[in-house]
């Protein structure tokens, strides 16, 4: 029996079942063909945010940010570096809290930047403030 993990395509929203043994091979979405573990940071909308955070069995770390926030802009390249380094361990995404204030309210976000790590359909941990790539990597590895 093959053990598979659910992964939401961050491009089209399709939930895919990926054999865990093939995670390193770079799985693609069955519907649209997009890479499921690209090592890139993906911009989410509320629908994709909720689907991925509720269903994904591979950890996803989401950066809650806003374009006017200096520390958020400063951390963006560091977040991208961590995404490349942890390509097969976790997926990295971001969501603009200014465009989606209802999400900030629902999650009780009081300050940005804020990183929230989700796994298995639940919130695992939060990391507030701008951080270097090494801190982000350590946070993900420590909490997965």
Active-site positions read: 69, 72
Helix (H) / strand (E) element for 140: namely helix 133-142
CA angle (100, 103, 106) in 5-degree steps: 150
The count of residues in the chain is 144
């Amino acid at each position: 029996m093959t053990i598979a993990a659910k992964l939401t395509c961050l491009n089209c929203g399709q939930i895919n079942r990926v054999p865990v043994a093939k995670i390193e091979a770079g799985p693609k979405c069955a519907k649209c063909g997009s890479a499921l573990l690209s090592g890139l940071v993906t911009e989410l909308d509320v629908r994709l945010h909720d689907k991925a955070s509720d269903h994904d069995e591979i950890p996803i770390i989401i950066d809650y940010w806003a374009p006017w926030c200096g520390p958020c802009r400063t951390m963006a390249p560091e977040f991208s570096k961590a995404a490349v380094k942890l390509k097969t361990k976790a997926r990295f995404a971001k969501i603009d809290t200014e465009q989606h204030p209802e999400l900030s309210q629902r999650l009780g976000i009081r300050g940005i930047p804020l990183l929230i790590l989700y796994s298995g359909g639940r919130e695992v941990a939060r990391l507030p403030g701008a951080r270097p790539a090494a801190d982000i990597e350590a946070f993900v590895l420590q909490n997965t």
